[in-house]
């Protein structure tokens, strides 16, 4: 992003983030409140002080689901990109607020931000497929067992691991491009030797597709892998689907038809779904920087998902499931858990 364009873009972005209608889709004002400070909004205040990064730091760390705002922005303001840029500038200017410092340090040190994360790998490293377990998965061993059973059904051998953590997603989200590129270079060899790379974490998928466009053909989200291998699973429950915002908005060409994967189930979608899908608030781990924000967004989404007499709520993304489960309203299963139950 050219710096000279930034002020203009930021002005439009702050407009999006604090406008009444988009506020529902961007969590900034959910916690801060619209127009908290001067009647012109916290972000506008920052503009008034000639854009001092310390004033916008909080917004930048709270605008986790900026791509939702992008879908509502009629003049194509890249809200997510601008807020990512701001996060980068805050870090570069050493203006990270105290409450986010531990989070940022963990990301910069390439540690996982998920408290339950423990490195886990299983299977033959020379297998045909690599399954990247989400670092947000509460039980990596269980996920690996489930992934192995699905891959076996497809007649493929698999090596399951979470050793690459989020594959540099959070470095990208904090606009640490150089560090993310270095991280990617370090894991490239480990990915290249496999025929296909599957993950059930949409943020891991995003990081992989950003860093390795040359491998895009063999990098798949779990549901795409199931659909391509024509794997279908029984079960006649009413399944409420929480789709992946990453797929719906950034990679819509990768969408799959769930009625082929779950042909006997009664599939339900909340009214806000598809392109409109609202996120869990976890944003690939960024949401953990501001738990109050995460809980508010997850709670809002769970209200959407809970109201239709469903038997079970399922999401293909393990990271989204972790976010939604923070709301502690109803247990959300990952697609992998559901098909292996």
Partner 1 sequence: MDANKNDVLVIGGGTAACVAADAVLNAGKSVAMVFPNGGSSEISAGTLDIMGVVPGEHPVICDDYREGVEKLLEKYPGHTYSKCKGELETGVEALLSLAEAGEYILKGFDGKNVWVPNMLGTFSVNAYVPSTMYEGAVVPGEKERVLVVGVKGNVAFNAQAAAMSYQQYQKKLGGKADYFSTEIQIKGWGDRRKISDGELADYLDTKEGKKELVSLIQTFCMNNRYSFDKILFPPVLGYLTYNELLAELKEACGCKVAEVAALGNSVAGYRFTRAVYRGLEKKGAKLLRGVSAKKLEAAENGVKVECVIGLTDQYHPGKRETFEVPAVVLATGGFVGGGIKARHTDVWIELLEQHLGKVTTDQLDRDAVHPAGQDFMRMGVQVKADMSVEDKKYNGRVFACGDVLAGHNSASERSGAGIAAASAYLAGKNAAAKI
Using the rule CB under 8 A, is 74 a contact of partner 1? Answer: yes
Using the rule CB under 8 A, is 172 a contact of partner 1? Answer: yes
| Shortest distance, position 137 Cβ to partner 1, whole Å | 24
Query: Given candidates 61, 162, 300, 327, which one binds partner 1 under the rule CB under 8 A?
Result: 300
Alpha helices (H) in 53-174, listed in sequence order: 53-62, 66-72, 79-92, 98-108, 140-153, 169-173
Calpha distance 200→69 (Å, rounded): 24
* Main-chain phi, psi angles of 322, to 5 degrees: -65, -40
| Listed residue (309, 246, 239) closest to 278, CA to CA | 246
- Site string (194-223) toward partner 1, x via CB under 8 A: ----------------x-------------
Calpha distance 119→64 (Å, rounded): 26
Using the rule CB under 8 A, is 255 a contact of partner 1? Answer: yes
Calpha distance 117→290 (Å, rounded): 19
Q: Which is nearer to partner 1, 45 or 334 (CB)?
A: 45
Q: Residues near 185 by Cβ (< 8 Å), separated by ≥ 6? A: none
Q: Which is nearer to partner 1, 140 or 269 (CB)?
A: 269
- Chain centre distance of CA 217: 21
- Site string (127-156) toward partner 1, x via CB under 8 A: ------------------------------
Query: Given candidates 6, 52, 71, 267, which one binds partner 1 under the rule CB under 8 A?
Result: 71
Using the rule CB under 8 A, is 36 a contact of partner 1? Answer: yes
Q: Interface residues with partner 1 (CB under 8 A)?
A: 1, 19-25, 29-30, 33-36, 67, 70-76, 78, 80-81, 172, 210, 248-253, 255, 271-272, 274-276, 300, 303-304
């Amino acid at each position: 992003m050219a710096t000279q364009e930034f002020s203009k873009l930021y002005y439009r972005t702050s407009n999006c983030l604090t406008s009444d209608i988009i506020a529902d889709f961007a969590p900034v004002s959910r916690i801060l409140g619209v127009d908290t400070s001067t009647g012109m909004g916290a972000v506008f205040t920052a503009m008034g002080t000639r854009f001092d990064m310390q004033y916008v730091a909080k917004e930048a760390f709270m605008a986790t689901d900026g791509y939702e705002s992008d879908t509502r922005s009629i003049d194509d303001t890249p809200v997510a990109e601008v807020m990512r840029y701001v996060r980068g500038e805050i870090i570069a200017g050493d203006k990270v607020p105290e409450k986010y410092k531990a989070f940022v340090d963990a990301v910069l040190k390439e540690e996982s931000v998920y408290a339950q994360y423990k490195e886990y790998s299983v299977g033959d490293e020379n297998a045909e497929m690599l399954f990247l377990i989400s670092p947000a998965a509460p039980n990596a061993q269980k996920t690996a067992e489930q992934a192995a059973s699905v891959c076996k059904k497809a007649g493929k051998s698999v090596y399951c691991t979470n050793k690459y953590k989020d594959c540099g997603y959070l470095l990208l989200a904090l606009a640490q491009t150089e560090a993310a590129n270095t991280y990617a270079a370090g894991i490239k060899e480990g990915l290249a030797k496999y025929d296909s790379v599957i993950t059930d974490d949409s943020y891991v998928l995003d990081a992989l597709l950003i860093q390795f466009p040359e491998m895009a053909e063999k990098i798949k989200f779990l549901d795409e892998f199931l659909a391509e291998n024509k794997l279908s699973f029984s079960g006649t429950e009413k399944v409420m689907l929480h789709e992946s915002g990453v797929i719906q908005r950034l990679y819509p060409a990768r969408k799959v038809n769930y009625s082929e994967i779950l042909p006997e189930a009664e599939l339900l979608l909340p009214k806000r779904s598809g392109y409109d899908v609202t996120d869990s608030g976890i944003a690939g781990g960024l949401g953990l920087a501001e738990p109050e924000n995460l809980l508010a967004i997850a709670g809002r989404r769970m209200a959407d998902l809970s109201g239709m007499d469903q038997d079970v709520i399922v999401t293909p993304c393990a990271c989204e499931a972790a976010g939604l489960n923070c709301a502690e309203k109803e247990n959300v299963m990952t697609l992998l858990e559901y098909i292996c139950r």
